[in-house]
Amino acid sequence: MNNKLLVLGTMAYDAIESPFGKTGKILGGCATYIGLAASQFKIDCGLVSVIGDDFETAHTDLLTQKGLDLSGVATIAGEKTFFWSGKYHNDLNIRTTLDTQLNVLTKFDPKVPEQFKDASIVLLGNLDPNIQGAVLDQMKAPKLVVMDTMNFWIESYREKLDEVVGRVDVLSINDEEARQLTDTHSLVEAAKQLQALGPRYVIIKKGEHGALLFHENKIFCAPGLPLEEVFDPTGAGDSFIGGFAGYLSQRGKITFDEMKTAVIMGSAMASFTVQKFGTECLETLTREQLHQRILAFKSLSEFELT
Ligand code: AMP
């Protein structure tokens, strides 16, 4: 297994409203969050994405400086970058999408760079399942394929989505989407149904309440770290999966035990993301801060049975 991680996803501009404030257009997109989280690990990470000519050089520079390979990022002249706007309610687990402007995404023909075709781990970030499938078709023989999605694609592309879900090893979705996909209330039952579609591992994210990892008949539960201040949950799911895949890629081993630690890595990464607006917190995150937070997660749920 090599330590190459190939990430597909959006590079975007977002406008966010939360009870704590409102942003103008800021850097966002699932590939951006995933890449920033994965850059904490000693791996070779390449992004496959698309941007318009309005995408600022400062933002591509930021990602390059983090060691991310952008040779799979296409620029479409005369078109605008993908734009998304969302509003969080007082319960920050509830989000309303205000606007989605696909822009360059409608013309996106993803090309996996030659040097990443043999990547051991592929992360299909939240995107049109047709594009996710097209990227998977270009990969040689990945050891692990991880997939994320969201309601936008579930609602409009259900048939294609099910087809791609059938080709992946790990499906990562939030609780609401798991219920939407399976028409079931129980998350345990939903995970069973999702595993039956193909993925050997199913991760159900529960926002501030943590995440569940399902594999065969085993369940691992990662707590949500109680934080004093949460400003903006945008990108939490993406940085979760970026931390998860980045860790596994660095470890070079895929077992249920490694996956448990990976889920904690992802949870720690998400806990940083939500503490500031947009990508701000991930941009300055250090390995030492990450290490300290992993210890906080460990002590949060550790106990002795006497
Ligand atoms: P998350 O909060 O982890 O679900 O991800 C938020 C990020 O996903 C934002 O930065 C958006 O730019 C991006 N995003 C929102 N809607 C979509 C969509 N339909 N397809 C792909 N990316 C999206």
* Ligand 1 binding pocket includes 238 (Cβ within 6 Å): yes
Has residue 172 got a pLDDT over 90? yes
Would you identify the CATH topology of the domain 4-300? UDP-N-acetylmuramoyl-L-alanine:D-glutamate ligase (3.40.1190)
Tell me the pLDDT band of 229, cut-offs 50, 70 and 90. Answer: confident
The chain-wide mean pLDDT, for the chain, equals: 96
What is the pLDDT at residue 94? 87
* Ligand 1 binding pocket includes 28 (Cβ within 6 Å): yes
Phi first, then psi: give them for residue 137, nearest 5 degrees: -60, -30
Report CA 173 to chain centroid distance, whole Å.
9
- For the stretch 72-108, pLDDT in tens is 999 999 999 999 999 999 988 889 999 999 999 999 9
The SS3 call for residue 65 is helix
pTM of the shown model? 0.97
- For the stretch 184-197, pLDDT in tens is 999 999 999 999 99
Nearest atom (ligand 1) to Cα of 82: 12
Tell me the pLDDT band of 290, cut-offs 50, 70 and 90. Answer: very high
Question: Cα(239) to centroid of ligand 1, in Å?
Answer: 11
What is the pLDDT at residue 74? 98
| Distance in angstroms (rounded) separating the CA atoms of residues 26 and 44 | 26
Nearest atom (ligand 1) to Cα of 239: 3
Instruction: Name the CA dihedral angle for 268, 47, 147, 131, rounded to a multiple of 10 degrees.
Output: 150
* 183 Rama sector, left if φ>0, alpha if ψ -120 to 50, beta otherwise: left
* Ligand 1 binding pocket includes 234 (Cβ within 6 Å): yes
Tell me the pLDDT band of 306, cut-offs 50, 70 and 90. Answer: confident
| Distance in angstroms (rounded) separating the CA atoms of residues 190 and 22 | 35
What is the pLDDT at residue 210? 95
- Reference 203, options 226, 175, 237, 171; nearest CA is 171
Question: Cα(12) to centroid of ligand 1, in Å?
Answer: 8
With a pLDDT cut of 90, the percent of the chain lying above it is 94
